[in-house]
Chains A and B, each alone.
Chain A
């Protein structure tokens, strides 16, 4: 099986290029040949990339022989055009060879407008990913290469799909041989809030908990951990994660292991 190792700087660290910190994170791991920037879960965070130093990132990535993927979250209507501007700006730099989309609207847009490899991100396939309780309930026995992908392949070309390590045995039977599976192997996504509890810290009472209220990235560097029977839940920004499963995948010939930089103020060992 071909294997690639990717490190995600999405969502958990400040959305700005920081050579010292990024090199330190790379130094903690071996064999990383791709990094992710952008966001999976939060449009407020993603829109901060309108000021990101893509040129600087491109030079650094070339120096380190790293490929770069750009991750685009699902965005609400008012931010759709702004998000497309960010995508335009990112891809204009020329060094991003892959875009990871998380909804069909953005899949359609990127397919039409850009000549770039596309991955379907971790929110495309909606299998339950819960570390509480026994394993079989949450995925063993499910074919993770679902009919949804085959239907999308009729309309769009994509190079790979993503999943979270959420079950002991993950079956991808039917996945085309040349397709890559990107597997999130440390933090498993569980859910995302309709609004952000962290952002509320910076808002007046009458604006707290409104879904579209702009934030000051109060989430970055901060998280809450809850202990539950069978595991822990980490709330970071709008998103809740749990510990990933040590998964064995089947039916896959090209695997990409994805780990995430933990930006909050404690060490977390998944």
Chain B
């Protein structure tokens, strides 16, 4: 029996809905582009954090997005639309509030928000509000504030450990916790990364650059070890892929109920493979009586383990 955890997957092609669902996807998330938004607020204003990647990450227009939501609903699955840009102005918040009503009419389950002022708009429209990693929910004090604002589900930052997550779950057992699980594991903190992806991500850009190390005269750090560590960080760490399979048993017992597979701009076949593996491993978790039993029966995607540094929840 499959453990009670939802597999949340990125969607950039409507034709993938059915095969992703058959493979095990329970929930879908995506963003949209909106010419009306661009006309009104210019290209400088993002609807979501992936707007900088253009239609590669946001394939759907607003009208397409509503069709996709209907398709997903017809299969009995959940849909979430991302509104997690760095900043929204008051005008933009009003604009999005109107869009929420249309999304609700199409049957959307929830919206992923980076701005707490959007919560009341979502709740007014009858849509669930999900706190994006942009909300930087690193501890129970921060979580308490956002729960008070009406969030029923939160995405915990990638750098939260399983112990951190368990403490948050125990403090707020009614809040649904979504955790990062597969694919791109950015080196930087989603919650506080304020670079502009229109110019490329630092995580990939700095890999191609030679850095100049400057050390103070009284630095106590061994220069060779420091250079080695910096090189490893820039060149090897999370080189495009990240994985949480070995931690699945612990994530389940920590209270995580939604597993986020990222990669809205990734190849569909790769995403599909990750859904299949996750589904299989959820079945193993459901049957396993212990972590050791899970680890001995789980599918281990060897390709992800090459550097030994690609684990989301290495402990």
Name the residue of chain A whose CB is nearest to the CB of B142. A105
Which listed residue (B90, B168, B199) contacts A132, Cβ 8 A?
Answer: B199
Interface residue tally for chain B (C-beta within 8 Å)? 74
Which residues of the partner chain B approach A148 to less than 8 Å between Cβ atoms?
Answer: 115-117
State whether B159 touches A195 (Cβ < 8 A): yes
Which listed residue (A103, A136, A197, A227) contacts B209, Cβ 8 A?
Answer: A227
Which listed residue (B87, B159, B189) contacts A146, Cβ 8 A?
Answer: B87
Q: A74-B192, A148-B115, A226-B206 are in contact. Are A201 and B216 (CB under 8 A)?
A: no
Name the residue of chain A whose CB is nearest to the CB of B211. A224
CA distance A216 to B93 in the complex (A): 44
State whether A74 touches B226 (Cβ < 8 A): no
User: Which of B93, B158, B196 has the largest number of chain A CB atoms within 10 A?
Assistant: B196
State whether A264 touches B233 (Cβ < 8 A): no
Stretch of B217-225, B279-287, B293-301 with 4 or more beta carbons under 8 angstroms from chain A: B217-225
Interface residue? B34 (CB, 8 A):
no
Interface residue? B9 (CB, 8 A):
no
Q: A77-B138, A146-B89, A193-B187 are in contact. Are A123 and B192 (CB under 8 A)?
A: yes
Interface residue? B22 (CB, 8 A):
no
Stretch of A62-70, A184-192, A246-254 with 4 or more beta carbons under 8 angstroms from chain B: A184-192
Q: In the complex, how many residue pairs between chain A and chain B have their CB atoms under 8 Å apart?
A: 220
Which residues B216-248 have CB closer than 8 A to chain A? 216-222, 225-226, 228-230, 232-234, 237
Which residues of the partner chain A approach B199 to less than 8 Å between Cβ atoms?
Answer: 130, 132-133, 137, 230
Point out residues on B near A: beta carbons under 8 Å. 42, 44, 86-90, 93, 114-117, 134, 136, 138-146, 157-161, 163-164, 167-168, 186-189, 191-196, 198-200, 202, 205-206, 209-222, 225-226, 228-230, 232-234, 237, 309, 314-315
Point out residues on A near B: beta carbons under 8 Å. 74-78, 80, 103-106, 108-109, 123, 125-130, 132-133, 136-138, 141-143, 146-148, 151, 189-195, 197-198, 200-202, 208-212, 216, 218, 220-228, 230, 233, 235, 240, 263-266
